[in-house]
């Protein structure tokens, strides 16, 4: 007598044996009758998929927003302009050259994003001064109460040098600063954006407090000397590092120490009496 099969209530009958389905190139993929009609995966797309870098933010639709594109374009223009100005001077570079270097086919890209050459120079300076000012703020807070001339000079020199060290090699801001300071048309921009920082002004005030006998006109003269010496010495070191040339000091920290020593000598040098006539 044949064996009877009893089905449990509420359960469907067995689906029967699973059968292979051919998906190209003779390779079989096992599938039940329930998966019939379901499209096979795009195997080529799976093979060529590239993982995104960790931290990458992609819009839901996979497309960059207009704001993202504008930011990227501005950053490219700032980087290209800073390098070209550092190498050739502000007056020696056209907006067209900047746009081409930044990968922009539109010759008016610089004007569109920054309005004018002055606006572009100001934006480059501001891109760096925030970090320099933050380093200087901490130094000034640590130095408060000091009566040592050199301590306050270090507050002026070391933040600039530290920022360039953080940027790595090559960097361009040191040479850019020297070019702008040497150009009468743009020097006021550097004075307003960088040299007018509140913590730099505080360091200058405290420096003069430590030199009560220094005549006012001599103090003004030495401030100008110190500013030019600092900017151009730093620019020359940056240039040497970019070219792989030898430098007198092996690090930016030691270079800042030497420069601070020299500036302390400048500020504390004796004042000669005026000669007749």
| pLDDT tens digits along 177-194 | 999 999 999 999 988 887
CATH number at residue 99: 1.10.10
Closest listed residue to residue 260, CA positions, set 159, 180, 163: 159
Specify whether 110 is located in the same domain as 208.
no
Contact in structure between 267 and 149 (CB atoms under 8 Å)? yes
Integer angstrom CA distances of residue 142 from 133, 145, 152, 253: 14, 9, 11, 18
Q: What is the pLDDT of residues 77-93, one digit of tens each?
A: 999 999 999 999 999 99
Per the structure, the complete domain to which residue 217 belongs is given by 121-268
55 domain-assigned: no
In Å, the largest CA–CA distance within the chain is 141
Tell me: do 164 and 197 sit in the same domain.
yes
Q: Please, are residues 159 and 139 in contact by the beta-carbon 8 Å criterion? A: yes
Q: Please give the pLDDT value at position 196.
A: 77
Alpha carbon 23 to its chain's center = 52
Q: Please indicate, yes or no, whether residues 79 and 162 belong to a single structural domain of this protein.
A: no
What's the chain's length in residues? Answer: 277
Query: Within the chain, which residues score under 70 in pLDDT?
Result: 1-64, 275-277
Q: Is residue 7 part of a domain?
A: no
Q: Domain check: are 258 and 131 in the same one?
A: yes
22 half-sphere exposure, CB direction, 13 A CA radius:
3
pLDDT on residue 51: 43
- Measured between alpha carbons, how far is 56 from 46 in angstroms, rounded to an integer? 20
Query: Is the residue at 61 inside a domain?
Result: no
One domain for residues 74 and 150: no
pTM for this model (two decimals): 0.74
Closest CA to 164 of 174, 177, 179: 174
């Amino acid at each position: 007598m044949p064996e009877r099969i009893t089905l449990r209530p509420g359960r469907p009958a067995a689906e029967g044996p699973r059968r292979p389905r051919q998906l190209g190139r003779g390779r079989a993929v096992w599938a039940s009758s329930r998966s019939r009609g379901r499209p096979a995966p795009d195997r080529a797309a799976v093979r060529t998929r590239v993982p995104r870098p960790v931290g990458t933010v992609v819009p839901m639709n996979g497309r960059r927003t207009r704001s993202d594109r504008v930011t990227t374009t501005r950053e490219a223009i700032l980087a290209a302009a800073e390098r070209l100005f550092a190498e050739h001077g502000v007056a020696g570079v056209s907006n067209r050259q900047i746009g081409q270097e930044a990968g922009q086919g539109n010759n008016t890209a610089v004007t569109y994003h920054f309005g004018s050459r002055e606006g572009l120079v100001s934006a480059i300076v501001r891109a760096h001064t925030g970090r320099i000012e933050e380093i200087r703020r901490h130094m000034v807070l640590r130095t408060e109460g000091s009566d040592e001339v050199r301590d306050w000079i270090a507050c002026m020199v070391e933040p600039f040098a530290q920022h360039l060290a953080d940027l790595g090699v090559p960097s361009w801001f040191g040479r850019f600063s020297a070019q702008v300071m040497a150009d009468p048309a743009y020097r006021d921009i550097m004075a307003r954006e960088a040299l007018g920082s509140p913590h730099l002004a505080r360091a200058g005030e405290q420096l003069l407090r430590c030199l009560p006998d220094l005549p006012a006109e001599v103090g003004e003269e030495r401030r100008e000397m110190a500013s030019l010496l600092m900017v151009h010495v730093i620019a020359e070191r940056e240039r040497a590092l970019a070219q792989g040339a030898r430098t007198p000091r092996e690090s930016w920290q030691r270079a800042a120490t030497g420069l601070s020593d020299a500036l302390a000598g400048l500020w504390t040098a004796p004042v000669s009496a005026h000669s007749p006539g």
